[in-house]
Structure 1
Amino acid sequence: MFDRLFGRKSANDAPGLPAIRNVTIGRTVVLDPLAWRRFGGALLFPFDSDTLQIVAQGVVALDEGGFIHRFYTDDDVMFQAVSNDRAGQDITDVTIFAPWQSRYPGRASERPAWRERLTARSFTDDGLPEYRRAWFGDEAERQEPVSFWEDVHDDRDGIVDRRIFQTCMLYARTVEGDGRELLLAIDQENEAGEVSFEIMLGMALELGEFRA
């Protein structure tokens, strides 16, 4: 999903890379598989393992002051924690996402059309049911998506290896057993100007449903 970009920040200028509840590059996250298996075949979430080997880590500083911490496996499964602080001491949300589909636009006209899809109150795609907008609620017919830069690290030296600009919207659908499946639709561009459209499926985790 991520390509190596040009340039690196000086290690002297980069803040230390935080470990979030002991999760960071080089460590293994052990998940409670009952978190998704209890829903039987109702989830389309394309993941069924109880371990994640973390090989890369991303940090997003949100405009409103919060932080998103992302931890990636070799096959781009993404373990994500949202916190009110960069150190990750005050976690408000934990999710796991797995790739569903990646597209690489061949024409410039494809990007505005994809961006417009991210403003809609619902989202669907080939092989997927309808998901309703989870961010901002689905009352408004149109809602602008969220945009941010993600600093991605391949090791713990504090140097940013690549930066990716993302515009995204989160959707969700209810599944049997009082569950909820998430869909993250993303427009992303690296510093070299390479663009891709990503669809990831996931679900929320409780703090007791993982350890590292």
Structure 2
Amino acid sequence: MIFGSLFGGNSREDTPAVAVVRDITIGRQVRLDALAWRRLSGAAFTLDRDTLEITAQGLIRLDDGSHVHRFYTDDELMLQAVSQSADGSDADDFTLFRPWSSTYPVDRSDTAAFRDRLSRPTWDEAGLARFDRFWYPGDDRTQPPVELWESVYEERTGRPVRHIKQACMLYAREVPPEGQELLLALAMQPEGGDLTHEIMVGLPLLPAEFSA
């Protein structure tokens, strides 16, 4: 730190707090190949543009040591990458999601009912086809939702602006021709904030289908 100060090196405060994954981070644009969703017949996922302006970034550290990097736009589109390393250099699992619905639970019974739905092997949502659980493949028993905390940043070198507790489950369905659509169901609550029930629809992305 002393030599860094003497010779003009970056201070600890200037060190990025979030990773740059395939050149994607806060303040950059992501260009998408629109064929990723336009080629799917009957999918609920649609998007009216092929460029994302990244204005926030989330980080989740999973119990198995892997890292989930989430990149957000102002209208809450979410590009997600999963990696084993903290810097995201080995990210090999990419998905793109957009919000479908967001509701506040009416009471405790509504909260309990949503959590019960998160444990089931299928998901039925108004206006959508049925989705099968993607996690726990081949297991049609009830399973607990995945619990995690996400730290969200709005500046690369800043501190998290919020921490969000989440219980979630991922679902998928096959869409012709030879495609897949995803549904992410979440019960999420920021520290000091209200609980909401979120539904997002999305699709897997190949590395060749986006760039920054």
Larger radius of gyration: 2
| Cα displacement string for residues 71-105 of structure 1 (whole angstroms, at most 9, x for unaligned residues) | 00011000000000110011120000000000111
Task: Give the aligned residue type for 2:31.
Answer: V
Distance of aligned partners of 1:155 and 1:44 in 2 relative to their CA distance in 1, 3 Å threshold: same
| Separation in structure 2 between the aligned mates of residue 122 and residue 92 of structure 1, nearest angstrom | 26
Answer yes or no: is 1:117 the counterpart of 2:110.
no
Distance of aligned partners of 1:138 and 1:103 in 2 relative to their CA distance in 1, 3 Å threshold: farther
Q: Which residue of 1 aligns with 2:18?
A: 17
| Separation in structure 2 between the aligned mates of residue 202 and residue 62 of structure 1, nearest angstrom | 21
Q: In 1, are the aligned partners of 2:16 and 2:157 still within 8 Å (CA)?
A: no
How many residues are treated as equivalent by the alignment?
A: 200
Gapped regions of structure 1 (runs ≥ 5): 1-10
Shift of 1:37: 0.9
| Separation in structure 1 between the aligned mates of residue 153 and residue 16 of structure 2, nearest angstrom | 12
Answer yes or no: is 1:36 the counterpart of 2:37.
yes
| Separation in structure 1 between the aligned mates of residue 124 and residue 18 of structure 2, nearest angstrom | 36
Q: In 1, are the aligned partners of 2:37 and 2:46 still within 8 Å (CA)?
A: no
Q: Which residue of 1 aligns with 2:135?
A: 135
Report which structure shows greater RCO (CA 8 Å, sep ≥6). Answer: 1
> Higher helix fraction: Structure 1 or Structure 2?
2
Distance of aligned partners of 1:93 and 1:152 in 2 relative to their CA distance in 1, 3 Å threshold: same
SS of residue in 2 equivalent to 1:68: strand
How much is the aligned-residue C-alpha RMSD, in angstroms? 1.4
SS of residue in 1 equivalent to 2:108: coil
| Separation in structure 1 between the aligned mates of residue 137 and residue 35 of structure 2, nearest angstrom | 28
Task: Give the aligned residue type for 2:122.
Answer: S
